[in-house]
Amino acid sequence: MYTEPTTFSAEQYFATQLPPPTLQHDVECVREFIARHQKEGRAVVLVTSGGTTVPLELNVVRFLDNFSAGTRGATSAEYFLKAGYAVIFMHRQFSLQPFSRHYSHSTNPFLDFLDIDSPESPGATPRISVTPNKREDLLQVLTMYKDVHARGTLHTLTFVTVDDYLWLLRAVSKEMSVLKRKAMFYLAAAVSDFFLPRQKMASYLSEHKIQSGKGSLHIEMDQVPKILKPLVDEWTPGGFIVSFKLETDENLLLPKARQALERYGHQVVIGNELHRRKFEVVFVSKKPSPALPPGIKQTKEAISHATDPSNSFSEYWLRIDIPEHPAPGVLVKEIEEDIVAELVKRHTEWVENTS
Ligand code: PMT
């Protein structure tokens, strides 16, 4: 009978779950990318994006998934590139990607942008052109895409399962530690909190496709270790770390964001409520401990003021207006533009103030 713990520490997790087969190759490419940009003095941001799956079988047919399309991550990656960062974009396979996201197959199919022009002479091959009213937007996206490729400032990595994600995150963050304060982490992926250890699948769940003949299916999942703690303390001490907190109950947003900052000790939590996430987010961070002016005694009032949770955290709400019915294909203001601008400002100040 399987007897692994139901709450894994990060070490137990990595000692028992297998890495993805491409890990070594991915790490070598990331190392080369980081070294090149470090030499050129560029800051590097790791953007994680999209949802992780949890397979239910070793030979996987079924899996648990979540809603994330990777919009936040793909959009933010573009704005980081515009701001001069080199971007490691670690995303769920087939989720949205920078640039191509503008022409997603479902909301803005790229075939609708193309016209077939009549051939100049009978028998000649017809030419393809871009529909005139789409040209300006396409030119803007294409110019940026080509520029990023020419400068080599975007490196893409893919994951599918929560195991892939955790192994990759650990390996990439260790590589990024050489950048010290010039490394930023933007953890927008929606990471599963529960998983099925492979030993559990092999011993009493299923190696092969689960059969329906036995009636209802009961699955007990184990907790995924909270990896922000080792990320902050061990894998990449010195980096500027931004995590996201997603809630559906808006009353939990601030308490949970504060709790994450207390627990993990990183720089910023960006809280977002599921249905308002495209036009409203809140930045939560810890205020520096108030230094008492010289000669002032640590009075009871001063100490209680300093330890009152409502005085220890700063909250900054960011909101944008978005049109209710935007015309398809027309570029509209995106909240990620302002999120990234605010983070770039904070990261720059933090580098200046702490080096
Ligand atoms: O992709 P979109 O449709 O645009 O949606 C964007 C988003 C809503 C998914 C995004 O803005 C967001 O909120 N992402 C984080 C969602 C989440 O998983 O929250 P969490 O409370 O479970 O995790 C908090 C943080 O810890 C996250 O930064 C997560 O990447 C990280 N985490 C969580 C668990 C775990 N084991 N490892 C982690 O790294």
Q: In this predicted structure, what is the pLDDT of residue 354? A: 85
Q: With cut-offs at 50, 70 and 90, classify the pLDDT of residue 86.
A: very high
Tokens found for residue 76: 């933010």
CATH of domain 10-238+320-354: 3.40.50.10300
pLDDT bracket for residue 29 (50, 70, 90): very high
To the nearest 10°, the Cα dihedral for 347, 349, 353, 354? 0
* Gap from CA of 50 to ligand 1 centroid (Å): 9
3-state DSSP call for residue 160?
coil
pTM given for the model: 0.91
The amino acid occupying position 207 is E
One-letter amino acid at 339 equals: I
What integer best gives the mean pLDDT of the chain?
90
Atom of ligand 1 nearest to the CA of 49: 1
Sign of CA dihedral 69, 103, 283, 227: positive
Q: How confident is the model at residue 121 (pLDDT cuts 50, 70, 90)?
A: confident
- What integer pLDDT is reported at residue 304 of this predicted model? 53
How do residues 217-271 score in pLDDT, each as one tens digit?
888 899 999 999 999 999 998 999 999 999 999 999 999 999 999 999 999 999 9
Q: Is the pLDDT of residue 306 over 80?
A: no
- Asked whether residue 204 carries a pLDDT value surpassing 70, the answer given is no
Tell me how far the alpha carbon of residue 157 lies from the centroid of ligand 1, in angstroms: 17
- 202 — pLDDT class (breaks 50, 70, 90): confident
> How close is the Cα of 162 to the center of ligand 1, in Å?
12
pLDDT for res 293: 55
Atom of ligand 1 nearest to the CA of 67: 3
State the average pLDDT over residues 214-219: 82
Q: Is there a contact between 101 and 77 (Cβ–Cβ < 8 Å)? A: no
Summarize pLDDT for 43-81 with one digit per residue, the tens: 999 999 999 999 988 888 889 999 999 999 999 999 999
User: Of 181 and 331, which is predicted with more confidence?
Assistant: 181
The pLDDT value recorded for residue 323 is 74
**What pLDDT, on a 0 to 100 scale, did the predictor assign at position 184?**
98
The residue with greater pLDDT, 203 or 340, is 340
Comparing 231 with 208, which gets the higher pLDDT? 231
Output the pLDDT for position 149: 98
Looking at residue 59, its pLDDT comes to 85
Average pLDDT for 205-216: 75
What is the reported pLDDT for 72? 98
Which residue's alpha carbon is nearest to atom 33 within ligand 1?
A: 191
Between residues 31 and 6, the one the model is more confident about: 31
Q: Letter for the amino acid at 196?
A: L
CA of 187 to the centre of ligand 1 (A): 7
**Range 100-105, long-range pairs (CB < 8 A, 24+ positions):** 101/70, 101/71, 101/74, 101/75, 102/137, 102/141, 102/331
Confidence band for 123, pLDDT divided at 50, 70 and 90: confident
Q: Which residues, 6+ apart, have CB-to-CB distance to 137 below 8 Å?
A: 102, 329, 330, 331
Identify which has the larger pLDDT, 188 or 354.
Answer: 188
Task: Provide ipTM, 2 decimals.
Answer: 0.93
CA of 65 to the centre of ligand 1 (A): 13
Ligand 1 pocket test target in 228, 282, 322 with most atoms within 8 Å of CB: 228
Residue bearing the bigger pLDDT, 302 or 122: 122
